Amino acid sequence: MTEPDVDSVIVIDDHPLFRKGVADLIAMEPSLRLVGEATNGEAGIRLAQATDPDLILLDLNMKGMDGLETLRQLRAADVDARIVMLTVSDSEEDVVAALRAGADGYLLKDMEPEDILDSLRRATAGRMVISRQLTELLARALRDEQRPQRPEEAGLTGREEEILRLIAKGYSNKLVARELDLAVGTVKVHVKHILKKLRLRTRVEAAVWAVSSQR
C-alpha cells in the first residue's frame, strides 16, 4: 500500500499563539506536515530557501519586513512554493497588492478552522484560495478600472477562453496543462496573452474577473 502524498508547510508570522494554532490545525490533517516556523520576514525567506516547502502561510502585518515585502522577496528569489496570505486585514488595497505581488491566495484569520484547513488542502492541490467575502471586494475593485466587461469584448481566442474558464475554477498552470493536454510553457504563453487582453496583472485577478463577468 503506497503512502499518501504529504505536502510540507512553513508559517511566517510574528504571533506565537497564532503559529501554535496553525501548527495544531495542520497536525490534524494527514496530507500536511509543518516543517518550520519563522517570526519575521527575513527569517522566513531563509527558512523557505532551506526547506523548499510546498506551501508557505504568510502574515501581512509583521514587525520589520512586512508580509508584502517578504512575498516580493520570496518571488524574486524564485521560491517555487504556493504562497497564501493568512492575515486579519480585509482591506481592498492589501488584497489587491498581495495578489499582484504573486500570492496564490488570501485567507482571513477569523475563518472557521475547518474552512482554513479545506483552503490549505486546495492550495496544495494547485487551486487558488480566497476568503469568500474578499472575492466580491476584489471583483468590485477590478470593475472600477477600465477593462473589457465580457470575454467576447476582449477578443480572446477559443483556446484562451477555455484556459480562462479553468483559471476561474482556481486551476494552476500545471493543472490547466494536464486538463488540456498542453505543455506548461504553452499555458504560460496563453495566460500572458489573456492578461494583456484583459488589462490585468495576475491570474488571480483574471479568475475573479471571469467569475464576475458571468453574472
For residue 104, give the amino acid letter. Answer: D
Grid cell listed for 166: 479553468
Q: Specify whether 15 is located in the same domain as 96.
A: yes
Q: What is the pLDDT of residue 3?
A: 44
- The Cα–Cα gap between 69 and 143 comes to 26
Among 7-11, 67-71, 90-94, 162-166, the range scoring the smallest mean pLDDT is 90-94
* 150 neighbors 214 (Cβ within 8 angstroms): no
Dihedral, 12, 66, 39, 80 alpha carbons, nearest 10: 30
SS3 10: strand
* 9 neighbors 37 (Cβ within 8 angstroms): no
Chosen domain end from 93, 109, 139 = 139
Based on the number of CB atoms within 10 Å of its own CB, is 3 exposed (0-12), middle (13-18) or buried (19 or more)?
exposed
pLDDT tens digits for range 131-141: 877 877 776 76
Q: What is the pLDDT of residue 149?
A: 59
The proportion of the chain whose per-residue pLDDT surpasses 90, expressed as a percent, equals 53
Those residues whose C-beta lies under 8 Å from the C-beta of residue 123, and which sit 6 or more positions away, are 55, 82, 84, 104, 105, 129
Residue ranges making up the domain that contains 25: 7-139
- The Cα–Cα gap between 49 and 51 comes to 6
Q: Specify whether 104 is located in the same domain as 184.
A: no
Q: What is the pLDDT of residue 146?
A: 58
pLDDT tens digits for range 45-101: 999 999 999 999 999 999 889 999 999 999 999 888 999 999 999 888 898 889 888
Q: Specify whether 87 is located in the same domain as 181.
A: no
* 179 neighbors 161 (Cβ within 8 angstroms): no
The full DSSP string for 103-121 is: -SEEEETTS-HHHHHHHHH
Q: Specify whether 128 is located in the same domain as 180.
A: no
2 in a structural domain: no
1 in a structural domain: no
163: domain CATH number?
Answer: 1.10.10.10
- List of E strands, the chain: 7-12, 32-38, 55-58, 82-87, 105-108, 129-130
Q: What is the pLDDT of residue 35?
A: 96
Q: Specify whether 107 is located in the same domain as 23.
A: yes
Chosen domain end from 90, 112, 139 = 139
Q: What is the pLDDT of residue 1?
A: 37
Q: Specify whether 157 is located in the same domain as 207.
A: yes
Instruction: Residue 23: name the closest of 96, 98, 117, 115 by CA.
Output: 117
75: domain CATH number?
Answer: 3.40.50.2300
Number of domains making up the chain = 2
Chosen domain end from 79, 105, 139 = 139
Q: Specify whether 41 is located in the same domain as 128.
A: yes
- The Cα–Cα gap between 32 and 1 comes to 19
Those residues whose C-beta lies under 8 Å from the C-beta of residue 68, and which sit 6 or more positions away, are 60, 94, 97, 98, 101
* Angle, in degrees to the nearest 10, between helices 132-143 and 203-213: 90
Q: What is the pLDDT of residue 214?
A: 60
Q: Specify whether 105 is located in the same domain as 167.
A: no
